[in-house]
Amino acid sequence: MEVEKFEQAKKIKENLERLKIRKYKLESAFNSFSLSVKIEFVHSGNFKRKDEVWLSNENVIREMISKELETLKENINLVEEEFNKL
């Protein structure tokens, strides 16, 4: 039983660390001086091919990052609560 709890706690802790690293990277991007975003996509049809487009509207990018950070912070809180229950 203890081994099972340990393994569960280990997985939760790894997930929490991954989320915190992602949060740190998003916060760093949000606070940077220059922002651009590359969107990669695949054309559908008989011959699938990859393509990309760049966005450079910083206001839109900052809004996207803000929304993602909110969601990420909520997820971190949920994972921390789950970890503390163990």
Looking at residue 34, its pLDDT comes to: 85
Domains in the chain: boundaries: 2-32+58-85
- In this predicted structure, the answer to whether residue 67 has a pLDDT above a threshold of 90 is yes
Which of 30, 22, 25, 23 lies closest to 62, judged by CA?
30
Looking at residue 16, its pLDDT comes to: 95
pTM to 2 decimal places:
0.77
Q: Kindly report the backbone phi and psi dihedral angles of residue 12, in degrees, each rounded to the nearest multiple of 5, phi listed first.
A: -65, -45
pLDDT, tens digit (0-9, with 9 covering 90-100), for 1-19: 688 888 999 999 999 999 9
pLDDT, tens digit (0-9, with 9 covering 90-100), for 11-66: 999 999 999 999 999 999 999 888 898 999 998 888 888 999 998 999 999 999 99
Q: Where are the alpha helices (DSSP H) in 31-57?
A: none
* Strand, coil or helix: 50: strand
Q: How far is CA 17 from CA 2, 6, 24, 31, 69, in A?
A: 22, 16, 10, 21, 15
DSSP symbol at 51: E
